[in-house]
Structure 1
């Protein structure tokens, strides 16, 4: 929907690729669908779910045995995002390094994006 020919909208680190492939095999799913919804103290939250089939308008990114499907309403906000999986002593989980985020809450669970067209130089 918002794709750039020859350029993947997101990149997946090897750690995230392994975790997504592991989840896909364990749940017998087609891949991990990511999206955005209103919520949290910064305004938007990432959503993730294992999906049995892609929607017709999903942007699909495949890397090795991992498959990520990006919901159409999130595609424009996720361009350039790196998806990683970090394992720590207290918590483990997916991390989104998104260059489009203008603000994030202290806990890192919600983000804010600059309004479309605001503050961006004309091309």
Structure 2
């Protein structure tokens, strides 16, 4: 089980954590949203919650709640520019389909 950051995403998260008092790392998970069912969420982690899996990469901690972990296990998080905006992007091996805009995804379990 693992969630990882590309070098560019790692640098970005390190900067966010250093500039935000009380930030412990990155919280990563999913929420029900969009036309396909699941959307990735990222925010700064300010606490460790019961059941969190914690992955560490070069001093950066990534916190994933127990319900999200099966849906994001193996995901690589990247960071890049898309037009005028900058955003995290996700290479999630559990996603079997995405909506047309790329905002949400489904898994094999969703098809059952």
TM-score by length of 2: 0.88
Cα contact 2:74–2:93 (8 A) shared by 1? yes
Q: Please list every run of 5 or more consecutive structure 2 residues that lacks an aligned counterpart in the other structure.
A: none
- In structure 1, what is the Cα distance between the partners aligned to 2:18 and 2:80? 20
User: Which secondary structure does the structure 2 equivalent of 1:92 belong to?
Assistant: strand
Larger radius of gyration: 1
Is the 1:60–1:67 contact (alpha carbons within 8 Å) kept by the matching residues of 2? yes
Q: CA RMSD in A?
A: 1.8
Tell me the TM-score normalized by structure 1.
0.81
Aligned length: 111
- Matching of residue 64 in structure 1 with residue 90 in structure 2: no
CA distance in 1: counterparts of 2:109 and 2:58, whole angstroms:
35
Instruction: Work out whether residues 26 and 61 of structure 2, in 8 Å CA contact, stay in contact via their aligned partners in 1.
Output: yes
Q: Which residue of 1 aligns with 2:95?
A: 101
* 1:45 shift after superposition: 0.9
Q: Which residue of 1 aligns with 2:20?
A: 27
Which has the larger share of helix? 2
- 5+ unaligned residues in a row in structure 1: which ranges? 4-8, 119-123
8 Å CA contact retained: 1:18, 1:66? no
Question: 1:49-68, CA deviations, whole angstroms, 9 ceiling, x for partnerless residues?
Answer: 21211113111111124221
Matched, 1:52 2:46: yes
* Residue aligned with 2:18, SS: helix
